[in-house]
Amino acid sequence: MKPSAQTAIPCLLMRGGTSKGPFFNEADLPADIPLRDKVLLAALGSPDKRQIDGLGGAHPLTSKVGIVRKSSVPGVALDFLFAQLQPDKDTVDTTPNCGNMLAA
């Protein structure tokens, strides 16, 4: 049997409004951004327009990720980073935000 290159990383599937996706603790993801993005792409099954091997839902509304960490700002519980993935592309965009995912 061929050894697996998969690594278990905990996540929580959540829905906010019309959006849903996995939420990861930043500490559980690679600190190296390009490697982190590869992990997120693999988790959602991108690039594959059906995302058949991942948690993505084959649509931009269901190809979103939340990354959280404990905030160092007094009075703030969590820092949130939103990541938008496209089902058929190998890109991870963290420049936009998503109120629905933030509300989850």
User: pLDDT tens for residues 49-76?
Assistant: 998 898 888 888 889 999 999 999 999 9
**CA angle, 9 then 23 then 18, to 5°:** 140
> How many domains does the chain contain in total?
1
Residue 2 resides in a domain = no
Where residue 44 falls among pLDDT bands split at 50, 70, 90?
Answer: very high
Residue 54 resides in a domain = yes
Torsion sign (Cα): 13, 16, 21, 24? negative
Dump pLDDT digits (tens) for 13-35. Answer: 999 998 889 999 999 999 999 99
pLDDT > 90 in the chain, percent: 74
Q: Is the pLDDT of residue 5 over 80?
A: no
Residue 52 resides in a domain = yes
Residue 35 resides in a domain = yes
Domain that holds residue 79: 12-103
Residue 6 resides in a domain = no
Give the whole-angstrom CA distance, residue 102 versus residue 82: 8
pTM of the model: 0.89
Strand partners, 68: 25, 80
Question: For residue 77, what is the domain's CATH number?
Answer: 3.10.310.10
